Chain A
Amino acid sequence: MFVMLALAAILLVRHLYMISVLPDELQQGQIFRIIFFHVPAAIAAMCGSAVALVASVLFLITRKFKYDALAVAVTEVGLAFLAVNLVTGSIWARVIWGVWWAWDARLTSALVCWILYAGYLILRQALEEPTQRATFAAVYSIFAFTDVPIVIFSIRWWRTLHPQPVFFTKSGSFPADWTFTLVLNLLAMSLLYAVLTMIRLRQEHTMREIDFLRREAHAV
């Protein structure tokens, strides 16, 4: 894990350097560089939600708590990354569109996604018994994932204020050196995500041990 931490650190330093040492600015001006946070955070969060879905399904099938731990860890970290996405997007919107927020399909569904995953954590808090908590949280997580395809495809299905897809389509008009930096940033963010998830996973494991020890201690 510390290897990953070191790698993440290196990549992050590199990404800071790269953002400032880039040739062009586009029509939007300097603010466009915010894309190096905005997009990788979104991609990381969406991948995280996919992992949460798989973990939830696996928990329901196998009933092994390690999957439940993975689900909550990934969702919690995902909440932070999604917040980064929303806030950087909002600042970007304020500079370019003049408003902090707009209710188009992409923004609305992204906000709903954040609310859904916050709801996941709230649900977990409301349930004390570990098995019930894990089961119901898993069920909710599966339902929550129904919003994710909407977030991803909203700019294709509706006319939105949010810009059209540039990366995963053939008709993208993104300069190559920017793409390289973006991919590098994505790698850095993903590593950060993974490291945070692992920390959170370990905490979850410890908390489960505490539960167990607490029961033992009260029995004694």
Chain B
Amino acid sequence: MRFARQVLVILAKDLRAEMRTKEAINASLAFALVILLILSFAFDPSEETTREISGGLLWIVFTFAGTLVLNRSFARELPNDCLDALIAAPVPRAALFVGKALASFVLILAVEIVALPVFGIFYNVRWARQFWPLILVLLLGTWGLTAIGTLFSALTVNIRLREVMLPLLVYPLMIPLLLGAMQLSALLVSGQPITGDMTVWLRLLVGFDIIFTALSLALMDTVLMG
């Protein structure tokens, strides 16, 4: 399929560009670890409170660190008119979106995978009791963040105060999604499975992922053409 190949080309390009300088991923990882460290001072490390706040804490870390990666996604294309070249290229904008989104997704996921064990160590929490459900929540939540973040990265690339506008616009939009991810993560980190009442959050996560992806795919063209 041509579309798949185009997506892979863009994905590979972005990842290769990132791996050469490692700017975004280093900054993102460092930021994540620093936040984890600082917040560990803010909270009394008694087990119950830690487990209660774990969901919120983890996703604050993931979202802030993720914003660093997402900002770079399109900002990286600004020098040397690479952005214009990308827009002019005979690649459907949808492929451009999916390729870039997947690249950011991989990068943010990498940061999260490293941050989780560090969280476990700093806060003395055994987080892996519901490992696979937690990974699922991580994947779903991160994809939502990435989908909407990539679109808004393109939107804000030429605005003044870009670094501030991206979080300012994206975080409120993401609140329902973040709430779901936080609730589920807190539940899973404390070792309980997702049942009964809590499945509504899972449905919310999936629903928002679908909506954000669909909207971003539809509007990517508009945003790039300006």
Q: Which residues of A contact B (CB under 8 A)?
A: 60, 108-109, 112, 115-116, 119, 122-123, 126-127, 131-132, 135-136, 138-140, 142-144, 146-147, 150, 157-158
Contact = CB atoms under 8 A, between A and B. Distances in A.
B161 A109 contact: no
B223 interface: yes
Contacts of A127: 159
Q: Which of B148, B151, B172 has the most CB of A within 10 A?
A: B172
Contacts of A150: 176
A146 B208 contact: yes
Contacts of B215: 142-143, 146
8 contacts: A108-B175, A108-B179, A126-B165, A135-B222, A139-B219, A140-B155, A146-B215, A147-B172
B160 A126 contact: yes
B37 interface: no
Nearest to B197: A159
Contact of B200 (A126, A140, A157): A157
Most buried by B among A60, A109, A143, A157: A143
Nearest to B161: A126
B79 interface: no
A139 B223 contact: yes
B226 A135 contact: yes
B91 interface: no
Nearest to B162: A126
The secondary structure that dominates the A interface is helix
B110 interface: no
Chain B interface extent, by class: 20 to 34
Contacts of B200: 157-158
A129 B215 CA distance: 24
B contact face: mostly helix, strand, loop, or mixed: helix
A123 B176 contact: no
B168 interface: yes
A109 B169 contact: no
Interface in B211-226: 211-212, 215, 219, 222-223, 226
A126 B200 CA distance: 37
Nearest to A139: B219
B55 to A, nearest CB: 14
A139 B168 contact: no
Contact of A112 (B155, B175, B208, B226): B175
B121 interface: no
A143 B170 CA distance: 10
B173 interface: yes
A28 B165 CA distance: 44
Contacts of B172: 112, 115-116, 119, 147
Contacts of B160: 126
Contacts of A142: 215, 219
A83 to B, nearest CB: 16
B168 A119 contact: yes
Contacts of B211: 146
A140 B208 contact: no
Given A127-B159, A146-B173, A158-B200, A122 B168 contact: yes
A213 B18 CA distance: 47
Contact of B155 (A109, A139, A146, A157): A139
